[in-house]
Structure 1
Amino acid sequence: MEDNHTEHVCIICGQTKEEGITIVSQFICEDCESEMVRTDAGDAKYHFYIHQMRQISMQTHV
């Protein structure tokens, strides 16, 4: 039996994962997606996530 899982590099954590979402052409792993959804806007991590997510908008303007 063949393993047809595809691995992608997460734009948030930089790790290679199989499960997550792709927005435009950028991959976000399930772990980072879950963490982003739970992060309060006042948390220091929130600004990091915004910075990383800007890679998506930059890709659409190229």
Structure 2
Amino acid sequence: MVMEHDAKQQCIVCNEEKAEGIVVVDQFICLDCEQEMVHTDVKDAKYPFFIDQLKRLWMKLHA
């Protein structure tokens, strides 16, 4: 579910402050990054970047 927040939050993918996005494991992903991630093919050069950024979610769960 995409949410609009009263205050901007820092995206864990692009590190920009944005108001619209999703929160996963208490981490904010902006709408732009979320849309780009779901439409990125696994063969795309940017795919490994997204995987590395999303490792933060896994690390937060197991901290």
Q: Same fold (TM over 0.5)?
A: yes
| Residue number in structure 1 paired with 2:26 | 25
Q: 4+ residue stretches of structure 1 with deviation over 6 A?
A: none
Q: TM (normalized to structure 1)?
A: 0.91
In our comparison, the structure showing a higher alpha carbon Rg is: 1
Higher helix share: 1
Gaps of 5+ in 1: none
Higher strand share: 2
Give the count of matched residue pairs. 59
Gaps of 5+ in 2: none
Q: TM (normalized to structure 2)?
A: 0.89
Rounded Cα–Cα distance in structure 1 between residues aligned with 2:39 and 2:61: 26
Rounded Cα–Cα distance in structure 1 between residues aligned with 2:45 and 2:25: 26
